[in-house]
Amino acid sequence: MNGALLFEMLPRVAGGLGIFLLGMKNMSEGMQAVAGSRLRRLIGAVTNNRFMACAIGIAVTATIQSSSVTTVMVVGFVNAGLMTLMQAIGVILGANIGTTVTAWILVLKVGAYGLPVLGLAAFFYLFGKGERLRYSAMTVMGIGMIFFGLELMKDGFAPLRDMPEFVEWFHRFTPGSLFGVVKCALVGSIVTAIVQSSSATIGITIGLASTGAIGFETAAALVLGQNIGTTVTALLASLGATTNARRAAYAHTIFNVVGVLVVIPVFPLYVRAVRFAIGAPAAWGAPLDDITQGIAMAHTGFNVANTIVFLPLMGALARLVKLIARDKPHREEPHLTFLDVRMLDTPAIGIQQSYCEVQRMGEAVLKMMRYLREILTSAETDEAKEKKVFHREEVLDIMQKEIVEFLSNLLAGSVPHDVLDKGRMQIRMADEFESISDYIVNVLKMKLRLRNAGLDICTEGREECLSLHDHVAEVVTLVHQGVMDNHPEVISKVRTRGDAVTHMVRDYRERHLARFQDERTSPLASLAYTDMLNAYRRIKDHALNIAEALAGEK
């Protein structure tokens, strides 16, 4: 191959691919910012209805323009216990259809106008005042970059069709036989697995086909392989995850691999069906008026047909992956691994999933309050419950750290104001829930200190402690329910109950001082009781802080 020609060609191809991928990123970010609230509602609307789950997978993937990101998110949701296996499979089936939107965008006859569209949209993005206008301009700017990048790739690939070495080499990968189809599919899957973006390989395929470097049949075979290569991302995301999360990744792989294996033996019929769908000549190798449309139809036709076949078989697919990844003998706890770095590419959805983790922190705090009451009222030592309280406090420390790190990285990028505000609110909430867990442990430590010294609080003091515990637990429950329902108005009730707790603490402290002066309690028991009162007051204060964050107050 001519070295000078290769040196001239590679910068154009690499530059075009880079601009193409950057355009995909900008378009995705812009669409997410404009449709962020709708995306969050879509994810929350996932049900066991397979058709609804599939439709949501299509809508989400069409918006974020990446089936890999969607499947990684789904694996994360299953890993965190936020989505069932059947729901995940439904969304994954839809994601495979949603990702075909990229190819159809390229069918638009605006390739030559990519640079003007990019320039005009950039003007509005840089100088527009409204946030919605700016992010809409970012979406259009991304589309312009996609077309401009594709044009650069086409120009870069153009010399290949006149190079005998390339033509001779690529003849080895023509789908004229069953083995040839397999080889083309393998090339497509390997390249996509390396790049980890089917959109990028679709762009490369269209660039090669548009210049005549490869024929339509070869492009269609490459697209088949790209459907297998895109499953690698989800498989990597499932490493170290829970069994159910690995099952979701396996379901994605089986779905695509089986679909490709079924099509390969009937590849000539498949190509003829695609040609018929776009009104092109049915003869093998006949030129197409619009080869980009043919590639888009090949991509969409495969995924739509595959989804239609697998939708009724979702139950069987779920049973199969359960046989492949069997349940572990011990109970698996969901982890935070779904807060993956890839989620940073989808802030509109990432912010919702971090909110789910904040809600889980609230649930953990309520459990700690229940365990603490049982320990305080029990005459017997219950070391198992005591260990549970200490363990949950350690878990909440880890959860808070992971949430803050995730949100810090998420907010460091270009995100809309509503995501920014939600992120700051969640960081504050996570910190307050973690502080509540610390003070719950403090109350338990006071109880254990007295027990180790062979002492206890007097009967009156114990009754006061339990009464205060119940009132504070009621405040925490109110706050948690407000967070679960995203109900900012809960702050009025929390303030009213919080004021009652403050008066109770003041009243109980005065009663205690009177008992201490009458020498009805020991100095150590007195100190422990005072510390308990202070801990409960602080729990109430932190709960109020959460309610204020939810209401948008500083």
Candidate from 66-75, 315-324, 415-424, 458-467 with smallest mean pLDDT? 66-75
Higher-confidence position of 523 and 551: 551
In angstroms, what CA-CA distances link 514 with 91, 508, 511, 524, 531?
65, 10, 5, 16, 17
The one-character DSSP state at 231 is T
Band the pLDDT of 285: cuts 50, 70, 90.
confident
Predicted pLDDT at 525: 75
How does pLDDT run across 192-244, given as a tens digit for each residue? 888 777 777 888 888 888 877 788 898 899 999 988 988 887 787 777 667 87
The reported pLDDT for the residue numbered 366 is 95
**Has residue 482 got a pLDDT over 90?**
yes
Amino acid 156: pLDDT: 77
Helices 67-79 & 243-263, crossing angle to 10 degrees? 150
Phi, psi values for residue 369, rounded to 5°: -65, -40
Average pLDDT of 72-86?
74
Check if the beta carbon of residue 260 is closer than 8 Å to that of residue 229: no
Comparing 55-59, 332-336, 412-416, the range with the smallest average pLDDT is 332-336
Average pLDDT over residues 255-264: 92
End-to-end C-alpha distance for the chain, whole angstroms: 66
User: Is the pLDDT assigned to residue 30 strictly greater than 90?
Assistant: no
Residue 118: band (very low, low, confident or very high) from pLDDT cuts 50, 70, 90: confident
Q: Scan for tokens 């690499």, then name that residue.
A: 14
**pLDDT(338) > 50:** no
Q: pLDDT: is 164 or 117 the higher one?
A: 117
* pLDDT for 372 beyond 50: yes
What is the distance between the alpha carbons of residues 244 and 82, in angstroms, rounded to a whole number? 11
User: Contact 301/277 with Cβ under 8 angstroms?
Assistant: yes
Q: Whats the size of the chain, residue-wise? A: 554
Structure tokens at 275: 């040609």
Map out the domains of the chain with their CATH numbers: 3-324 (no CATH), 346-550 (1.20.58.220)
Average pLDDT over residues 478-484: 94
Give 333's pLDDT tier (boundaries 50, 70, 90).
Answer: low
Confidence of residue 146 (pLDDT cuts 50, 70, 90): confident
Instruction: Flag whether pLDDT at 332 surpasses 60.
Output: no
The predicted structure's pLDDT at residue 48: 67
Res 456 pLDDT > 80: no
What does the mean pLDDT of the chain come to?
83
In the chain, the percentage of residues whose pLDDT exceeds 70 is 87
Rounded Cα–Cα distance for residues 72 and 440 (Å): 36
Instruction: Looking at mean pLDDT, say which of 3-17, 58-72, 103-117, 415-429 comes out highest.
Output: 415-429
Rounded Cα distance, 377 and 361, in Å: 25
What is the per-residue pLDDT for 73? 74
- The pLDDT assigned to 114 comes to 77
- Determine contact, residues 385/375, Cβ cutoff 8 Å: yes
Look at residue 424 and tell me whether its pLDDT is greater than 70.
yes
Q: Between 362 and 63, whose confidence is greater?
A: 362
In this prediction, residues 108-124 reach a mean pLDDT of 79
Report the candidate in 421, 390, 543 with the shortest Cα–Cα distance to residue 475: 543
pLDDT value of position 52? 85
Phi, psi of 279 (to 5 degrees): 70, 30
pLDDT of residue 64: 72
8 Å CB contact between 47 and 86: no
Helix (H) or strand (E) holding 483: helix 459-485
Cβ distance 511 to 526 under 8 Å?
Answer: no
Give the model confidence (pLDDT) of 519-543 as tens digits.
Answer: 666 777 778 888 899 999 999 999 9
Number of helices (H), then strands (E), belonging to the chain: the values are: 23, 0
CA distance 57 to 99: 10
Give the mean pLDDT of 42-64.
77
Which of 490, 462, 259 lies closest to 362 in space, CA to CA?
490
Give the span between the Cα atoms of 28 and 65, in whole angstroms: 6
Q: Which amino acid is present at 381?
A: T
Higher pLDDT, 475 or 118: 475
**pLDDT at position 264:** 92
Q: Are 243 and 327 in contact (CB under 8 A)?
A: yes
Q: Which two tokens stand for residue 233?
A: 């991302």
DSSP designation for 202: H
Burial of 488 (0-12, 13-18, 19+ CB in 10 A): middle
The residue whose two tokens read 């994605």 is: 252
Q: How confident is the model at residue 263 (pLDDT cuts 50, 70, 90)?
A: very high
129 vs 432, which has greater pLDDT?
Answer: 432
Mean pLDDT of 343-351: 71
Q: In terms of pLDDT, which residue wins out, 125 or 166?
A: 125
525 versus 422: the higher-pLDDT residue is 422
pLDDT of residue 233: 77
> Is the pLDDT reported for residue 337 higher than 50?
no
